[in-house]
């Protein structure tokens, strides 16, 4: 007899008993950064693997795995702490340690991919995201699970499978459940660069959209791109006298404007990363001047470095909602306006599906090319 409906067993499964075993490690020596790993392990019904990660007196990172990983699927959960470079070294050393200990698969679970903003060429700089991807693959990573990459094209820097999960369903749920009159809201892009993300939120919530544009913005897209090094003045000796190379006219931003009506509405600013909050504060002030009576900021990754919590507390922003891809408990103590959305559910489901060899398409349903 065949069942007409699909029944899902919600009880924690013994994942370690299936297909050669599963081991979950947290690679971070910072205790506050291990909380996400504990949440994921609890949802999967497994214990965290035994490993020692610490800094020696000379600041070298040492990793000691204290259980067998031979022939097992190893998932290494690494959240980015304040010391991002130490975080990267911890991950690379642990991946290499698992590789030399004959682990069958080594899957990195890195909710926030560090150096993701350095994914384009800037004058004589470098594409650091590509360098980091190459280092991870060389260390022995066989699969990567991450969330809301700053640019989706970063997936192409890897020669291993990359699952770029989305946090937007959790943020949309927060809007619907925690903002009572969200039907009177408008989704705001603080710069034209983030208009696609705002459009995605607006279409799913059936709301309007507004875009802030003007001289107060310091958009990433306005930075000089490419490996440029032309002389600033015409150098006749450098080019043939008969050639007149046209120069690109420099950009001049118009006065700040808001495209869209925010008067008497709740303004919800959406972005992927909130770190340096100056642009968010400027956007909030502009929206207040245009008549918005409440201002929310929604972002996946809450880095909130430096004095960001104090600036948010003193600003016109009513609430900042971020996920726990990055630990920010200290920032929450400094600023009660910061709220957290837990995304351990989708990460644990991704781990379960990869370990059991199931399709990942369920986690990407209703996600378009621009999401």
* Bridge partners of residue 338, in order along the sequence: 320
Query: Which tokens in the block code for residue 193?
Result: 């660069």
Q: Which residues pair with 271 in a beta bridge?
A: 299
Q: What is the DSSP code (8-state) at residue 202?
A: H
- Would you give the end-to-end CA distance of the chain in angstroms? 41
Q: What is the CATH number of domain 1-165?
A: 3.40.50.2020
Q: What is the DSSP string of 259-310?
A: ES--TTSEEEEEEEEESS-HHHHHHHHHHHHTT-SEEEEEEEEE---TTHHH
pLDDT (tens, 9 = 90+) of the chain, 371 residues, equals: 434 443 444 445 555 444 459 999 998 878 878 999 999 999 999 999 999 999 999 999 999 999 999 999 999 999 998 899 999 999 999 999 999 999 999 999 999 999 999 999 888 889 999 999 999 999 999 999 999 999 999 999 999 999 999 999 999 999 999 999 999 999 999 999 899 999 999 999 999 999 998 765 444 555 555 555 555 555 545 566 667 788 888 877 788 889 999 999 999 999 999 998 999 999 999 999 999 999 999 999 999 988 999 999 999 999 999 999 999 999 999 999 999 999 999 999 999 999 999 999 989 888 876 66
CA 57 centroid distance within chain: 32
The order of strands in the sheet holding 22-26 is 22-26, 73-77, 105-110, 143-147, 162-165
Where in the chain are the domains? 1-165, 169-215+256-341
* CA dist., res. 265 & res. 273, Å (int): 24
For 4, how many CA atoms within 13 A lie in the half-sphere containing its CB? 0
Q: What is the pLDDT of residue 241?
A: 65
Tell me the C-alpha to C-alpha distance, in Å, between residue 44 and each of 10, 33, 34, 94, 241: 10, 19, 16, 22, 71
Domain range 169-215+256-341, its CATH number among 1.20.1050.10, 3.40.50.2020, 3.40.50.150, 3.30.930.10: 3.40.50.2020
Strands 338-341, 319-323: pairing is: parallel
Q: Do 1-165 and 169-215+256-341 agree at the fold level? A: yes
Q: Copy the structure tokens of residue 110.
A: 């890195």
Q: Are 180 and 142 in contact (CB under 8 A)?
A: no
């Amino acid at each position: 007899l065949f069942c007409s409906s699909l029944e899902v067993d919600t009880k924690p499964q013994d994942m370690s008993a299936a297909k050669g075993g599963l081991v979950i490690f947290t690679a971070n020596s910072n205790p506050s950064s291990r909380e996400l790993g504990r949440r994921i392990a609890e949802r999967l019904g497994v214990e965290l693997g035994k490993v020692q990660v610490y800094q020696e007196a000379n600041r070298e990172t040492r990793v000691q795995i204290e259980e067998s990983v031979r022939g097992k699927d190893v998932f290494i959960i690494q959240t980015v702490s304040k010391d991002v470079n130490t975080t990267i070294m911890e991950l690379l050393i642990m991946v290499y340690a698992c590789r030399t200990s004959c682990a069958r698969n080594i899957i990195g679970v890195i909710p926030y991919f560090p150096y993701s903003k350095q994914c384009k060429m800037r004058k004589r700089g470098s594409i650091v995201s590509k360098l980091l991807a190459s280092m991870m693959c060389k260390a022995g990573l066989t699969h990567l699970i991450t969330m809301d990459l700053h640019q989706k094209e970063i997936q192409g820097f890897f020669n291993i499978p990359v699952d770029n999960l989305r946090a937007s369903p959790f943020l949309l749920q927060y809007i619907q459940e925690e903002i009572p009159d969200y039907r009177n809201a408008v989704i705001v892009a603080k710069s034209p660069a983030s208009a696609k993300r705002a459009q995605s939120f607006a279409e799913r919530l059936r709301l309007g959209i507004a875009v802030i544009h003007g001289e107060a913005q310091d958009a990433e897209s306005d930075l000089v791109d490419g490996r440029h090094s032309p002389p600033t003045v015409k150098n006749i000796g450098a080019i043939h006298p008969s050639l007149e190379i046209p120069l690109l006219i420099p950009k001049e931003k118009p006065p700040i404007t808001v495209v869209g009506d925010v008067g008497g509405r709740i303004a919800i600013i959406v972005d992927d990363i909130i770190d340096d909050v100056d642009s968010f504060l400027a956007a909030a002030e502009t929206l207040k001047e245009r008549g918005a009576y409440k201002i929310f900021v929604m972002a996946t990754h809450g880095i909130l470095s430096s004095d960001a919590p104090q600036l948010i507390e003193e600003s016109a922003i009513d609430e900042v909602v971020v996920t726990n891809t990055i630990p920010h408990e200290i920032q929450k103590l400094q600023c009660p306006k910061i709220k957290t959305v837990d995304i351990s559910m989708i990460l644990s489901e991704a781990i379960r599906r990869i370990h059991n060899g199931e399709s990942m398409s369920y986690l990407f349903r209703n996600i378009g090319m621009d999401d």
